[in-house]
Amino acid sequence: MVASAVVSSATGGRAIQSSAIVIGAGIVGAACARSLAMAGIDVLIVDRSTAASATTARGEGNLLVSDKAPGAELVMAVTAAHRWPGLVAELAEELGDGFPSIEYESKGGLVVATTEDGAAPLLRFAAEQRGAGVDARELSVSDARTLEPELNPAITAAVHYPQDAQVQPVNAAEALLASARGHGARVMQNTRISGPILDANGAIVGIATDRGELRADAIVVAAGPWSGEVARVLGVGLPVLPRRGMVLVTSRMPQRIFHKVYDADYVGAVGSGDAALQTSSVVESTESGNVLIGSSREQLGFDDRLRVDTIARIASKALRLFPFLTDQAIIRTYGGFRPFMPDHLPLVSEDHRLPGLWHATGHEGAGIGLAPVTGELIAALITGTTPPLDPAPFSLARATLAPHLAAVA
């Protein structure tokens, strides 16, 4: 494909984009690549390691609306919730039966307050979410225990979110990648970026790597918690920080947990900027019969060493929700790094400081669920077509991000 001339103006007049490089082959990168490829763009995905192996492979596969306060991210999440079932069907059609299952399960979420003080804030939060169009149903404790018979009877409030769902994140990412390939995208793994390639006007027209120079009209940074590092190599600062999480996996058990159940501390933890350990309990069963137990948030850079205190806290909070779990065996723990933005909103945007550069990152713990809409949004922005939702809140130029951009400049 012939690369078209790029008009590098921040105010408009975008030329035809015919090629793109997506940096990062996790679920967000895969979704971006698929959407771009389906729009007729020649896409190359580049990853410093292997696809679907980093943050994508270290979460639980949450597709949540329940944990988001009214605002732009919630709008994105609700859009995503509507989009997923159709996407799953499209991918099944494209890839056939043999492809590892995405395990999309519209299982619904149940958020409970575990203290007297926690009840009113939870119910208030739910009311605000309802105002923003979320299906959030206040339940009596006894109705909550009809949905989840093993739930601790001492809970103080409960809200049911039927729109919450779950997927197997690695399989979802691999499916998006396979679909992208089907639409002509190529994937280069184990490739390290060493710098930008700039044209005479200072626009970015490619990347230098340890496997040669790669050129494209649009460069999209979708490297999750490593987006800051990638951006730096390309010459700009991005205030994305890693936020460590850990998950416990139980042995297989008969199904006694039916929804994604979590305590209302989760909401506070996600929205917190606090670097210290935040834990809240998130418990759900999976198709294979193992129960996943999270969650924790710690800012430790990229330190992935085991911390027994962290997983002990996760375990103890889980028992407050489901006392019966006390004798269940934990067989595995894993963890990873979420991409954390200081103003708690994903970044899906052009980089006004460097024409030709785009970002699709900063989803914190919501990247799995928000990936498809992110892909569609970035593709719309790059091709100049109608975006699936208002892009302004996710822009790099938003006011809440300005002080942080200045700090990493």
CA distances from 145 to 46, 87, 139, 238, 384 (A): 47, 33, 9, 45, 49
Regarding 171 and contact with other proteins (CB under 8 A), the answer is: yes
- Pick the closer one to other proteins by CB: 191 or 227: 191
Quick check: 137 binds other proteins (CB under 8 A)? no
Binding residue (CB under 8 A) for other proteins from 69, 92, 119, 147? 147
Residue 280 CA to residue 293 CA, distance in Å, equals 10
Q: Is 324 exposed, middle or buried (0-12, 13-18, 19+ CB in 10 A)?
A: middle
- Among 9, 140, 201, 255, contact with other proteins (rule: CB under 8 A): 255
Among 32-40, 163-171, 197-205, 361-369, which window interacts with other proteins (CB under 8 A)? 163-171
Binding mask 313-352 for other proteins (x = CB under 8 A): --xx-xx-----xxxxxxxxxx------------------
Structure token pair of residue 178:
């396979």
Options 8-16, 63-71, 101-109, 353-361: segment touching other proteins (CB under 8 A)? 101-109
Geometric angle at alpha carbon 192, from 196 and 368, rounded to 5°? 95
Q: Verify binding: residue 92, other proteins, rule CB under 8 A.
A: no
The token pair at 316 is 């103890």
Stretch that binds other proteins, among 27-35, 214-222, 249-257, 267-275 (CB under 8 A): 249-257
Are the beta carbons of 260 and 246 closer than 8 angstroms? Answer: no
Structure tokens at 16: 């035809």
| Piece of 196-204, 207-215, 228-236, 299-307 that binds other proteins (CB under 8 A) | 299-307
Minimum CB distance to other proteins, residue 79 (Å): 23
Contact pick of 7, 15, 40, 49 for other proteins (by CB under 8 A): 49
In three-state secondary structure terms, 349 is: strand
User: What character string, x for contact with other proteins (CB under 8 A) and - otherwise, covers 204-243?
Assistant: ----------------------------------------
Determine if 66 is a binding residue for other proteins (CB under 8 A): no
Task: Give the C-alpha separation, 259 to 294, whole Å.
Answer: 14
Place of tokens 């999480």: 245
Using CB under 8 A as the binding rule, whether residue 306 contacts other proteins is answered as yes
For residues 64, 305, 345 and 266, what is the CA-based torsion angle, rounded to 10 degrees?
Answer: 40
CA distance 400 to 409: 15
Alpha helices, H only, 71-151: 72-95, 116-131, 141-147
Task: State which residue, 212 or 254, has the beta carbon closest to other proteins.
Answer: 254
The position carrying tokens 């169009």 is 133
Chain residues binding other proteins by CB under 8 A are: 49-53, 57, 95, 98-100, 105-108, 146-148, 168, 170-171, 173-174, 177-178, 181, 187, 189-190, 248-255, 258-259, 285-290, 293, 305-309, 311-312, 315-316, 318-319, 325-334
